[in-house]
Amino acid sequence: MAWWGVTTAVVGRLPSIIIKNHHPSSPFCIKSSSNHYSVHILLDNNNNSIKLKSNSYSVATAAATFSCCSAAMSFSYGYDKQQQLIAAKKAVSLAARLCQKVQKGLLQSDVQSKSDKSPVTVADYGSQVLVSFVLQKELPAQAFSLVAEEDSGDLRKEESQETLQRITKLVNDTIANDGTYNVLPMSEAQVLTIIDCGTSEGGPNGQHWVLDPIDGTKGFLRGDQYAIALGLLDEGKVVLGVLACPNLPLESIRSQHQNAADKVGCLFSAQLGCGTYMESLNGSPPVKVHVSDTENSEEASFFESYEAAHSSHSLSGSIAKKLGVKAPPVRIDSQAKYGALSRGDGAIYLRFPNKGYREKIWDHAAGYIVIAEAGGVASDAGGKPLDFSKGRYLDLDTGIIVTNQKLMPALLKAVQDSLNEQALPSL
């Protein structure tokens, strides 16, 4: 007996497996290999397909065994996860190409003022369109929900006509040059529609992609670090993350090697339970990475925002002093900090925004799993894990701190001591 055609889909919030071309009179049985896993069989005799609906992707490793007549077939949700990883890597790689082109033009242009926000606007939208496009092309059978930074509101205004034309051309040129997708060029109206695929609210149920199309826009404008950051939430937890860092050196940024800074362009990827890997954006075999395992806070260097307006440099300085850190802070933009930390370029990342600033989930989702799967831990300043299930914002206590498991207790103490001192009225 021939294999049944199998596709996967998400019906409502529940993942489904659809077995096509099933003969209605064939006997059918299903058995689950996990206690936590329930499966419903929905028969559809009109198109001879059977739909199997399970209760959660969080049991993704559970394999259901189907038997039908004499043909036995095993199906694992691992297939889905693999497809999602491939799609996510492809999506951010293509978006990175668009961003690199725009940044190169920006830096070469004599006319363009560096304070002009228009290049970053074009690249932000273009990146969001490409990521949304690739995910939907690569995962056609999965329901698509995207929580992303941009929406089309401003672009629909009369004065944005030229910007929209530039975005549309950039997107179409990038897709055509890549050659993977044999599609007609997108119209401006399609570009607007696809940008608005990113307006999902996320939340604790189902799966949601989380995208920052250009994280670190200030770094992008300066010609420094930025990242295209894409995460995947499943039932409120980050289960996948990819970070494209087009300007991050492939070697450690602590490396003293000559020309080490010449080879740039890193792609970090992580999936729950599978570790974190780094490869070159130009294509190279992925290499497993691990956070620094130093237990000695005196030899731990730390990362923080380049922009003092994004994170208090004086507070991080006070924490570093308490820990006895000798090295000066490494200040770079974007979630490239999480990537660099995941391969041990430094041991600590400190982030303390001004009071009242609300962190967005797309600024941390991908970085969070890249660090966790590399053996590190990211928490708020009180030691609580970051909660991505609350919608578009993180609900945080004071700041975000990241380090390895061994240094975390000492770091938490230094953070609390510094925060308490800061709260005391000065004499």
Active-site residues, by number, are: 124, 217
- Member of 150, 234, 363, 380 binding Mg ion (CB under 5 A): 363
316 binds ligand AMP (CB under 6 A): no
Strand ranges in 235-347 using DSSP code E only, listed in sequence order: 237-249, 264-271, 275-280, 287-289, 302-304, 330-331
Chain positions 127 to 156 lying near Mg ion, rule: CB under 5 A, are none
251 binds Mg ion (CB under 5 A): no
Looking at the DSSP bridge assignments, the partners of residue 199 are 147
The CA angle 72-78-83, to the nearest 5 degrees, is 115
Distance CA 353, CA 252 (A): 27
Secondary-structure breakdown of the chain: helix, strand, coil percentages, each rounded to the nearest 5: 35, 25, 40
81 or 364: CB nearest ligand AMP: 364
Distance CA 278, CA 287 (A): 5
Tell which residue, 367, 357, 416, has the closest CA to residue 388: 367
333: partner contacted, choices Mg ion, ligand AMP, none (Cβ within 5-8 A by kind): ligand AMP
345 binds Mg ion (CB under 5 A): no
363 binds ligand AMP (CB under 6 A): yes
- Member of 310, 325, 344, 345 binding ligand AMP (CB under 6 A): 310
84 or 121: CB nearest ligand AMP: 121
Looking at the DSSP bridge assignments, the partners of residue 14 are 11
Token pair listed for 254: 């602590």
Chain positions 203 to 232 lying near ligand AMP, rule: CB under 6 A, are 212, 215-216
305: partner contacted, choices Mg ion, ligand AMP, none (Cβ within 5-8 A by kind): ligand AMP
- Member of 212, 251, 345, 380 binding Mg ion (CB under 5 A): 212
Distances (CA, A) of 210 to 128, 231, 247: 11, 5, 22
Which residue stretch of 16-24, 136-144, 218-226, 362-370 sits at the interface with Mg ion (rule: CB under 5 A)?
A: 362-370
181 or 393: CB nearest ligand AMP: 393
Q: Strand, helix or coil at 382?
A: coil
Q: Minimal distance in Å, beta carbon 43 to ligand AMP?
A: 48
- Member of 80, 124, 150, 215 binding Mg ion (CB under 5 A): 215
Please classify residue 200 by burial: count the beta carbons closer than 10 Å to its beta carbon, then call 0-12 exposed, 13-18 middle and 19+ buried. middle
Residues 6+ away with beta carbon under 8 Å from 87: 134, 135, 138, 139
150 binds ligand AMP (CB under 6 A): no
Residue whose Cβ sits closest to Mg ion: 215
Chain positions 269 to 288 lying near ligand AMP, rule: CB under 6 A, are none
331 binds ligand AMP (CB under 6 A): no
Quickly tell me which residue has 């290499």 as its tokens: 287
Residue whose Cβ sits closest to ligand AMP: 305
Strand ranges in 169-274 using DSSP code E only, listed in sequence order: 207-215, 227-234, 237-249, 264-271
Q: Give me the amino acid identity at 277.
A: Y
Distance CA 6, CA 382 (A): 47
Distance CA 93, CA 87 (A): 10
**387 secondary structure, DSSP code:** -
205-231 burial, b at 16+ Cβ within 10 Å, e below that, comes to: ebbbbbbbbbbbbbbbbbebbbbbbbb
142 binds ligand AMP (CB under 6 A): no
Q: Minimal distance in Å, beta carbon 279 to ligand AMP?
A: 23
- Member of 204, 353, 383, 391 binding ligand AMP (CB under 6 A): 353
20 or 358: CB nearest ligand AMP: 358
128 or 142: CB nearest ligand AMP: 128
393 binds ligand AMP (CB under 6 A): no
DSSP alpha helix (H) spans, 116-159: 118-138
124 binds Mg ion (CB under 5 A): no
Q: Minimal distance in Å, beta carbon 305 to ligand AMP?
A: 3
- Footprint of Mg ion (CB under 5 A): 212, 215, 363
- Footprint of ligand AMP (CB under 6 A): 212, 215-216, 305, 307, 309-310, 333-334, 353-354, 357, 360, 363
